Amino acid sequence: MASVRPFKPALFLQAHSPTEALDLLERYPGKARIVGGNTFLNELSKRGLLADVQALIDIEPLGLSYLHHQNGDLTIGGSTRLQDVADDPRLHREPVWKGLAEAACEVHPLQVRNMATVAGCISTGVPFLDVPAALLALEAKTRLYSRHGEEEVPIEDYLEKALTDYMADRFIKEVVIPKPNRRSASAFKKLGLTASDYAIVNAATKLTVNPDGLCASASIAVGGKGIDLLRMKQAEGTLQGKPLVAEVLASAAEKAAAEAAVTEDIPIRGSADYKRHVIKVMVNRTLMETTRRLGVSHVG
């Protein structure tokens, strides 16, 4: 087994403006990394993903810690701590946001939740963290600082680029979830070995119904250990225009299990067959919970 090159950054620098942060990224091309709560550096270094990093750039002074509800949109600053997301009463009160609140509450231990940032957990590029799955299901958008000004990138596209050269001269300012349809709800569920474990499987769903109670749109995100964090587009399609009854939800969950990108040859925390079974169970449970929150009377 090849040894992992050590992570030994020489510099820890603070940026006091977006321009200064971008200047520092430019000064150390390919050798610098933006950091927030610094809670995942050890995990990334163990995977050899930080061996070339010489400078860590702290963006705490930029004042990007905020959570705003404005005109129906939800805007979360990149430096917002996960505990602030977990504590927001409106996220717990309104059905459409509950999946995000649940995902933030699943992050353990409490010390990590008090330090980890929203942008940090998205930028890691690993598929088994909880908040990115919820944001993916909610069809969030990332707003980035770059030399070209502010850019808006759907989180689905951002997750594909998080660890690529595209992000070498950009970083997240905030995450925006556009105003949802009022007949929408979301849910999040996770399976780990322990309460503080990373997800073997996590699943997040958002459903919108029309006035007749039929599914107007669906979003299903699945990730985990050895499972790429992706939208389950085929499974979503099976719900479109259908009544949200138990048989329809179960069929969508089965489709998601077949569609998920599970690594077949590396049995991390279980075989591929086991994970596909868990995906089916977890997606079905999140869909049932989301439907319950919608108050659809004909659900099984």
In 124-169, DSSP assigns E strands to: 141-146, 149-154
Beta-bridge partners for 41: none
Confidence band (pLDDT; 50, 70, 90) for 126?
A: confident
Confidence band (pLDDT; 50, 70, 90) for 60?
A: very high
Q: Which pLDDT tens digit goes with each residue over 79-125? A: 999 999 999 999 999 999 999 999 999 998 888 899 999 999 998 87
In this prediction, residues 272-294 reach a mean pLDDT of: 96
Instruction: Calculate the average pLDDT of the chain.
Output: 90
Question: Across the beta sheet with 201-209, what order do the strands follow?
Answer: 184-191, 201-209, 215-224, 227-231
Tokens of 186: 């979301």
Query: Quick one: what percent of the chain has pLDDT higher than 70?
Result: 94
In this prediction, residues 124-128 reach a mean pLDDT of: 84
Q: Which of 185, 100, 171 has the alpha carbon at shortest distance from 140?
A: 100
Q: Which pairs from 104-108 meet CB under 8 Å and 24+ separation?
A: 104/130, 104/131, 104/134, 106/130, 106/188, 106/190, 106/202, 107/82, 107/131, 108/195, 108/196
**Which residues, at least 6 apart from 26, have a Cβ–Cβ distance to it below 8 Å?**
169
Q: Which pLDDT tens digit goes with each residue over 44-58? A: 776 666 777 888 999
Residue 300 has pLDDT above 50, yes or no: no
Confidence band (pLDDT; 50, 70, 90) for 2?
A: low
pLDDT at 198: 85
pLDDT at 145: 96
Residue 299 has pLDDT above 60, yes or no: no
Domains parsed from the chain with CATH numbers: 11-61 (3.30.43.10), 64-177 (3.30.465.10), 184-294 (3.30.390.50)
In this prediction, residues 173-188 reach a mean pLDDT of: 94
pLDDT at 14: 94
**Higher-confidence residue: 30 or 4?**
30
SS3 164: coil
> What's the CA gap between 115 and 95, in Å, rounded?
26
Residue 148 has pLDDT above 80, yes or no: yes
In this prediction, residues 166-173 reach a mean pLDDT of: 88
Q: Which pLDDT tens digit goes with each residue over 199-229? A: 899 999 999 999 988 999 999 999 999 999 9
In the chain, DSSP assigns E strands to: 11-14, 32-35, 55-58, 67-70, 73-77, 141-146, 149-154, 170-177, 184-191, 201-209, 215-224, 227-231
**Which residues, at least 6 apart from 103, have a Cβ–Cβ distance to it below 8 Å?**
130, 131, 133, 134, 188, 190, 202, 204
* C-alpha torsion angle, residues 155, 115, 285, 243 (rounded to 10): -40
Q: Which pLDDT tens digit goes with each residue over 7-38? A: 777 899 999 999 999 999 999 988 888 888 87
pLDDT at 157: 94
